[in-house]
């Protein structure tokens, strides 16, 4: 490991990655690699998570290609110095801010969107001019291999090195000093990463999850609301960090919404979703056991079928889940949607605020005052109104959490800035000095300074 890190540090110190053309060329080579490996990526995602080719492109490959395009179009502007001009106190001075590479970064990736959540932060690190150690998840073993093969073939390991292995490899990596670490995953491992990083005073971006609430008003487009919630919750078999984790619905709409969600499930996946090419599987037996264990913590409304041999868990709706149950307090990360009814929206807001701050919050309503009440009285990494999950598709929207759902942002310019050092530069004139700037001080000098900096 030390030899790999030393090799990258030596290359970074040579200064090539500071060149904008070099960075754009690296991004273009990454794009060529993704296009060339596309069929192998699709195959790996199908074997790991039973993703269809359509789902694999829409949720994994396509967003990465779009992010590269967005970065290359804007990189020159973002990396250029931002001039600020003079000031009253120093009128002939000028100032600027320039984004420079941090150096060597470490990206630790999850298994649920194993390609996208490896490559998206890598794009930001490359655009910022860093050398990167990429650690894909060993849980999604087929995607881990295809990422290693793809990058190994197209990009020199002095720029990107893919390191494979389990927790022991992560521990070895975290014992080393990096200039920035981005970790995507769960809160427990995030604490380990942050503790290890603190030993070297390494800044960390944590992309976590939590219980993303979905609040549905009686004043909504019922059919579209049901379809969008159904898709947002059950895509990738619910293994999505921003998936609606529990559903608050106006009691006058509850039964109609449940019926519409059932209809949407059948429309999307057929009468038996296990036969659908578009419905995913739980990643492994350990997570299957965890998810299916939650099925006993409330009243089953719909679904609940499971098959451990094929890692299948049906799209499931539940209600009357106790407040102290795991399903009410832990991120579900599976295709189970608990439903809670409310009389007044204030009840839903209070329930949301009793939990740790979520990565995303969803509102379905045509009433702008209803929307605004929730937006202003809750805190979350993002709010998405009248849809689910799709806010991730905007490259110009910073993505990240708050509190227990993480800190730091990436995607687009936010990602470029996360992996950059915003260096302030001040240039002073030598033509003159401000009178009374230096000691000894007196009342006249103080009055003059007050006028300049008040």
Q: Angle at which helices 38-49 and 141-154 pack, to 10 degrees? A: 160
Residue whose pair of structure tokens reads 């380990």 in the numeric block: 192
Cα–Cα distance for residue pair 213/209, rounded to 1 Å: 12
Evaluate whether 269 touches 278 at the Cβ level (below 8 Å).
yes
Q: Which residues contact 280 (CB under 8 A, 6 or more apart)?
A: 49, 50, 51, 55, 235, 236, 237, 239
For residue 88, give Cα distances in angstroms to 97, 446, 447. 19, 15, 14
Q: Is 385 buried (19+), middle (13-18) or exposed (0-12) by CB count in 10 A?
A: middle
For residue 272, give Cα distances in angstroms to 77, 267, 313. 51, 11, 11
For residue 405, give Cα distances in angstroms to 10, 112, 206, 208, 305. 36, 16, 8, 5, 30
260: Cα separation from own chain's centroid: 30
Cα–Cα distance for residue pair 19/7, rounded to 1 Å: 19
Cα–Cα distance for residue pair 351/168, rounded to 1 Å: 39
- Cis status of the peptide bond prior to 222, with omega within 30 of 0: no
Angle at 14 between CA 179 and CA 26, to 5 degrees: 75
Tokens of 65: 């290609």
Q: Which residues contact 160 (CB under 8 A, 6 or more apart)?
A: 122, 126, 131, 132, 133, 134, 151
Provide the annotated active-site residues: 207, 241
Q: Which residues of 14-37 are buried (b: 16+ CB within 10 A; e: fewer)?
A: eeebeeeeebbebbebbbebbeeb
Evaluate whether 363 touches 380 at the Cβ level (below 8 Å).
no
Cα–Cα distance for residue pair 349/331, rounded to 1 Å: 18
Chain length of the chain = 454
Evaluate whether 274 touches 310 at the Cβ level (below 8 Å).
yes
Number of alpha helices (DSSP H) and beta strands (DSSP E) in the chain: 17, 18
């Amino acid at each position: 490991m030390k030899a790999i890190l030393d090799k990258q540090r030596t290359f970074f110190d040579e200064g090539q990655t500071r060149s904008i053309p070099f960075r754009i060329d690296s991004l273009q080579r990454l794009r060529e690699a993704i296009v060339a490996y596309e069929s192998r990526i699709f195959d790996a995602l199908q074997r790991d998570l039973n993703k269809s080719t359509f789902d694999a492109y829409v949720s994994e490959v396509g967003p990465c290609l779009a992010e590269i395009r967005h970065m290359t179009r804007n990189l020159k502007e973002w990396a250029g110095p931002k001039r600020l001009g003079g000031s009253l106190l120093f009128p002939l001075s000028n100032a600027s801010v320039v984004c420079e590479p941090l150096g060597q970064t470490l990206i630790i990736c999850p298994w649920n969107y194993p390609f996208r959540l490896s490559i998206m932060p890598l794009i930001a690190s490359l655009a910022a001019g860093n050398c990167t150690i990429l650690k894909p998840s060993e849980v999604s073993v087929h995607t881990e291999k295809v990422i290693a093969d793809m990058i190994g073939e197209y990009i020199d390991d002095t720029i990107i090195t893919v390191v494979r292995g389990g927790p022991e490899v992560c521990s070895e990596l975290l014992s080393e000093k990096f200039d920035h670490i981005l970790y995507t995953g769960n809160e427990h491992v995030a604490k380990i990463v942050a503790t290890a990083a603190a030993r070297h005073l390494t800044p960390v971006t944590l992309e976590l999850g939590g219980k993303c609430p979905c609040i549905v008003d009686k004043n909504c487009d019922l059919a579209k609301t049901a379809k969008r919630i159904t898709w947002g919750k059950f895509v990738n078999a619910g293994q999505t960090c921003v998936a609606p984790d529990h559903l608050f619905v106006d009691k006058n709409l509850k039964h109609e919404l449940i019926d519409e969600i059932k209809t949407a499930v059948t429309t999307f996946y057929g009468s038996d979703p296990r036969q659908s090419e578009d419905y995913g599987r739980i990643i492994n037996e350990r997570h299957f056991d965890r998810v299916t264990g939650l099925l006993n913590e409330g009243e089953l409304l719909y679904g609940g079928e499971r098959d451990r041999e094929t890692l299948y868990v049906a799209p499931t709706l539940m209600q009357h889940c106790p407040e102290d149950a795991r399903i009410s307090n832990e991120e579900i990360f599976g295709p189970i949607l608990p439903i809670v009814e409310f009389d007044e929206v204030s009840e839903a807001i209070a329930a949301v605020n009793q939990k740790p701050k979520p990565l995303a919050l969803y509102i379905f309503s045509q009433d702008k005052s209803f929307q605004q009440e929730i937006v202003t009285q809750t805190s979350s990494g993002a709010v998405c109104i009248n849809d689910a999950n799709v806010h991730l598709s905007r490259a110009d929207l910073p993505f990240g959490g708050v509190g227990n759902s993480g800190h730091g942002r990436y995607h687009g310019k936010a990602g470029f800035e996360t992996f950059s050092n915003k260096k302030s530069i001040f240039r002073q004139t030598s033509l003159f000095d401000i009178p009374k700037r230096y000691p000894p001080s007196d009342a006249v000098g103080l009055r003059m300074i007050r006028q300049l900096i008040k």
